[in-house]
Copies of this chain bind each other. A is one copy, B any other.
Amino acid sequence: MSFSPLLQNLITSLRALPGVGPKSAQRMALHLLERDREGARTLSESLLQAAEKVGECQRCRNLSEETLCPVCEDDSRDHQLICVLESPVDLIAVEQTGGFNGVYFVLKGHLSPIDGVGPEDLGLDQLFERVESGEVRELILATNPTVEGEATAHYIAEQLQDLNVNITRIAHGVPVGGELEFVDGGTLAHAFAGRRSLKRSQDD
C-alpha cells in the first residue's frame, strides 16, 4: 500500500491497541485524519499524560496517578473488607456489579514459580502487614478460577490462617443465565460440591 510515511506510522502504532488488526487500524487512522483531528490531538495528549504519570496506588496497587486511588480515598467505603484481585480489569468487573462496598488489593499477577513470580512480586508483604495490623475484618480472595489463581488464593489463606481475620473465597458454580448443558465438568462438580440448602434452617 502507498500510504504516506506519517500515515503508515500512525496505522502501525494503532495496532498496539488490543483487538485492532491492520484493517481496523487503517479505518481508525483515516477517520481521525479526515474527520476528527481534534480527537486525535486529545487522544495523543491523554496517552502521553497517562503513560508518564499513572503509577500505582500505594495502598492497593490499583492504577492511579495519586498516592491513593479514588477507592482507597473514599471514606464511605468499608476499609475493613478487602477484595484481593489479580488485575485492575477484574477490579472494574467487580466495581461494575455495584454490589461491593469494600476496598481492593490488586496483586497484578498470580504466583507462578515457573515464571519466577513469587509472593514479593505480588505485594503480599504489604497485604499481610495490613491484615496483621488488625484493621481488616474480612479478606475476599477473588483471584481467577484458574490453577494459578487457586494456588495464589490458597497460599494467601495459608499464610494468614492464625490471624483473627475472616478469609473467604468467591463461590464457584454455574453462571447465572447459563444452561447446564454448556457448563464444563469442573464447574459442574464445583456447583454440586458447593450446593446450598433451600430449606430454612431450624434456628431461623
Inter-chain contact A2/B88, CB cutoff 8 Å: no
A25 nearest in chain B by CB position: B17
Q: At the interface, is chain A mostly helix, strand, loop or mixed?
A: helix
A10 interface neighbour in B7, B9, B47, Cβ under 8 Å: B47
A47 nearest in chain B by CB position: B44
A4/B64 contact (C-beta < 8 A), A14-B43, A16-B32, A26-B92 known: yes
Inter-chain contact B9/A19, CB cutoff 8 Å: no
Q: Interface code A90-111, partner B: CB below 8 Å = 1, 0 otherwise? A: 0010011000000000001000
Nearest-neighbour CB distance to chain B for A6, whole angstroms, equals: 5
Cβ–Cβ < 8 Å partners of A64 in chain B: 4, 7
- Total identical chains: 2
Cβ–Cβ < 8 Å partners of A48 in chain B: 40-41, 44
A66 nearest in chain B by CB position: B4
Inter-chain contact A69/B27, CB cutoff 8 Å: no
A51/B32 contact (C-beta < 8 A), A4-B65, A13-B43 known: yes
Known: A40-B51, A43-B47, A44-B47; 10 extra A-B contacts, CB below 8 A, are A1-B92, A4-B69, A6-B53, A9-B49, A13-B43, A13-B45, A29-B50, A34-B108, A37-B51, A44-B51
